[in-house]
Amino acid sequence: MAISPSPLVDIYISNFPEHTQNLLQLLRETIMAEAPDSEEVISYQMPAYKWKGMLVYFAGYEKHIGFYPTGNGIEAFQHEFTGFKWSKGAVQFPLDRELPLDLVRRMVRYRLEQNAAKVKSGKKS
């Protein structure tokens, strides 16, 4: 079953300049393709994806897109963030650079695997 786009995320994206909208939509489509069984929601006032717990979030800003794959998602991929600003919970993708969609796909897959493992082990997500 394919994920249903949320009208609230449509509204969120529409509030940005056209170039940023295009990047946000591309990021959205990439996440949805990688996690087709997830639920698209607004959480913490930004688009988010849930499947057996929270997967990832993203947000638009004036000069970058913030991508939030949770702390352990950042920790697992921090060695690949060369050239990007990042913190323990987020990585920033500048608006003037191509989005690293392969990296995003791998991070989403990683988060899917983590959530599936939590469920299998009986831990709360």
Q: Nearest Cα to 13, choosing from 36, 34, 42, 37?
A: 42
Q: Report pLDDT for 3.
A: 72
The token pair at 3 is: 């994920």
Q: Report pLDDT for 36.
A: 95
Reported confidence tier of residue 1, pLDDT bands at 50, 70, 90:
low
What is the average per-residue pLDDT within 33-56? 96
Kindly state the percentage of the chain with pLDDT values over 70: 96
21 contact partners, CB below 8 Å, separation of at least 6: 13, 14
What is the average per-residue pLDDT within 72-79? 93
Q: Report pLDDT for 118.
A: 86
Q: Nearest Cα to 114, choosing from 81, 86, 72?
A: 72
Q: Half-sphere exposure of 122 toward its Cβ, with a 13 Å CA cutoff?
A: 0
Q: Report pLDDT for 124.
A: 57
Task: Give the chain's domains with CATH numbers.
Answer: 7-121 (3.90.1150.200)
Burial class from Cβ neighbours inside 10 Å (0-12, 13-18, 19+) for residue 83 reads: exposed
Paired with 59 in beta bridges are: 66
Q: 79-120, pLDDT tens digit by residue?
A: 999 899 999 999 999 999 999 999 999 999 999 999 999 888
